[in-house]
Amino acid sequence: MALKATIFKAQLGIADIDRAYYGDHTVTLARHPSETDERMLVRLLAFALHAGDALEFGKGLSTDDEPDLWRRDLTGLIELWIDVGLPDEKRVRKACGRAAEVFVYSYGGRGADLWWNQNAGAFERLRNLTVIDLRYGSSPSLANLATRNMDLRVTVQERQIWVTDGAATVEVEAAMLTAPGRG
């Protein structure tokens, strides 16, 4: 018998001062049986950092041809592709060929550092790729906010990110490793 996804619901209030985006979203997340709370909350954070009307969750872990999040135009062309974790270089290259913009949110401390060191040269040649590393300590702290019914507020100001559930606040330290026009 196959394990089924666990459903999480989140009320997400976003105040992204850097993008002048303010909105409330009701989000349903299906956590794959192999996915951790940490990864799920990083996906939710990526949603908050790119929130808009057309942004939607892809099948992610269960499908190789879809990202964790994406935004498509009315014709189906992929405008934005977002992966979470440490995707292999071939997947990232393929995503860059399919989408106008690609973001990767890496996390995991030393493992993420090793992944970056192995792939930095190849990634820096991809002109539509942005890689952001959530520094060690940020993503495990986010995982502590995971409950089946979440009410979270995300504030972004001058590249500083705070996530709160009203009782606890997590400051997320994010480092941009590469971006279009850099390097």
Residue 61, pLDDT score: 63
Report strand pairing: 149-157 vs 6-16: parallel
* Any domain includes 80: yes
- Neighbour order of strands in the sheet with 69-72: 55-57, 69-72, 78-84, 99-107, 129-134, 174-178
- Whole-structure pTM over 0.75, yes or no? yes
* Any domain includes 183: no
Asked if residue 183 has pLDDT above 60, the reply is no
Model confidence band, residue 4 (pLDDT cutoffs 50, 70, 90) = confident
pLDDT tens per residue, range 102-118: 999 999 999 999 999 99
Residue range of the domain that includes 56: 6-178
Query: Distance between alpha carbon 150 and the CA centroid of its chain, in Å?
Result: 17
pLDDT tens per residue, range 62-100: 667 899 999 999 999 999 999 999 999 999 999 999 999
Residue 180, pLDDT score: 85
Asked if residue 159 has pLDDT above 70, the reply is yes
What's the structural domain count of the chain? 1
Return the CATH number at 40.
3.10.640.10
Q: What percent of the chain has pLDDT over 70?
A: 95
* Any domain includes 93: yes
Query: Distance between alpha carbon 105 and the CA centroid of its chain, in Å?
Result: 5
* Any domain includes 118: yes
DSSP secondary structure string for all residues of 56-71: EE--GGG-TTS-SEEE
**Higher-scoring residue by pLDDT: 181, 56:** 56
**Token reading at 62:** 């269960």
From CA 82, how far away is CA 60, in angstroms rounded? Answer: 10
**Token reading at 80:** 């934005």
